[in-house]
Amino acid sequence: MAEKTTVARPYAQAVFDLAHSKGALSDWSDTLQLAVAVIADPRVQRMISHPRVRKEQIQSLVLDVGGAGFSAKAQNFIKVLIENRRLDLLPEIAAQYELYRAEAERTLAAEVVSAFPVNNEQQAKIIAALKKRLGRDITLSCTVDETLLGGAIIRAGDLVIDGSITGQLTKLTSALAHA
């Protein structure tokens, strides 16, 4: 995984630099997501991974499936990936690009996993607290995991706040085991 990320980083940086200079960060996010979806299709995967399919055929297939969703620059980018046998890196390139974009836009996606649904007022408080602590605009997604028993786990970038009862019980068990 780390190797793929390392190889994907220069491609993501190049796309980000281009998108940033043109004020098209959102457009390139959409383009990269489309490209990832195209190559994830099982039929496209079979063609891409088949040893007898030439680069030109792969290029034609991917660009045809993506259709008008690929600008001329996006088509060139995909051609470069195919030529360098890096098409399989598209998911990592897209993920790295989104990190660069979030940094440039000073945004951060946060996730709340709780034992019970989080209401709008609670979400607003969590967003305000994270924004104050991290200095970024926060987009929040919430999911319910009944196995937590109570409380919540908040993940925002590298920050993890485990306020779940399950997490507290685990800490208590560990503390008692080492006492």
- What pLDDT is recorded for position 2? 63
Predicted local distance difference test score (pLDDT) of residue 172 = 83
Q: Which CATH code fits 2-102?
A: 1.10.520.20
Strand, coil or helix: what is 24?
A: coil
pLDDT of residue 1: 54
Whole-angstrom CA distances from 158 to 56, 108, 134, 154, 165 are 41, 11, 11, 11, 21
Q: Where in the chain is the domain with CATH 3.40.30?
A: 107-177
**Number of residues written out for the chain:** 179
Q: Assign domain 107-177 one CATH number from 2.40.128, 3.30.450, 3.40.30, 3.40.50.
A: 3.40.30
Asked if residue 164 has pLDDT above 90, the reply is no
pLDDT of 31 above 70 = yes
* pLDDT tens-digit series, residues 68-89: 999 999 999 999 999 999 999 9
Q: Which whole number is the average pLDDT over 18-34?
A: 96
